[in-house]
């Protein structure tokens, strides 16, 4: 099993992924969208710093200095989803990373992501993926094994 990458490398890879997923117009803001893009970048940085502690957009209004509606408009313009969905997607991405690349129990993953208990985390994960964390982990492991098996005789 390979060791997990360094936090700096993971941050760089996440930034590259976000830039690749963003619509082309969001990656290059126009003159009118500059402020909106700046709001989004501030929100994105705050999410990256606090998503394991804060799960509500209201928590980010204090650190960004923008109200919920402004964050939602800016995030929708930049990422194509609302502020809450953006936050949930980031949390879900980290949950999948923990489940796929560690052997931590589901309850420990929940704690690392700032959930009070495993049941709340499981409900969140199931809403986002359609599977429980344990089922997703098992299916992901099967997919990795089958991908690495040679095909054909």
Q: What is the mean pLDDT of residues 94-117?
A: 96
Phi, psi dihedral angles at 76 (to 5 degrees): -65, -40
How high is the pLDDT of residue 141? 66
Q: What is the mean pLDDT of residues 84-113?
A: 96
Reported as a single tens digit per residue, the pLDDT across 52-67 is 999 999 999 999 999 9
CATH entry, 32-147, from 1.10.357.10, 3.40.50.300, 3.40.50.1000, 1.10.10.60: 1.10.10.60
How high is the pLDDT of residue 25? 46
How high is the pLDDT of residue 28? 46
Task: Please state, in angstroms and rounded to a whole number, the distance separating the CA atoms of residues 74 and 146.
Answer: 41
How high is the pLDDT of residue 35? 81
User: Higher pLDDT residue, 63 or 18?
Assistant: 63
Q: What is the mean pLDDT of residues 93-114?
A: 96
């Amino acid at each position: 099993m390979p060791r997990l990458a360094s936090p700096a490398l993971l941050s760089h890879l996440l930034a590259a992924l976000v830039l690749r997923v963003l619509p082309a117009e969001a990656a290059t803001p126009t003159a009118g969208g500059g402020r909106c893009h700046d709001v989004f970048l501030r929100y994105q940085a705050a999410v990256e710093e606090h998503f394991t502690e804060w799960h509500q957009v209201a928590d980010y209004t204090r650190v960004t200095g923008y109200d919920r509606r402004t964050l939602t408009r800016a995030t929708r313009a930049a990422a194509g989803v609302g502020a809450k969905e953006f936050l949930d997607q980031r949390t879900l991405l980290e949950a999948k990373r923990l489940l796929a690349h560690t052997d931590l129990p589901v309850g420990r993953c929940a704690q690392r992501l700032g959930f009070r208990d495993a049941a709340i985390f499981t409900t969140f994960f199931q809403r986002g993926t359609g599977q429980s964390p344990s089922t997703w982990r098992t299916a992901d492991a099967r997919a990795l094994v089958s991908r690495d098996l040679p095909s054909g005789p």
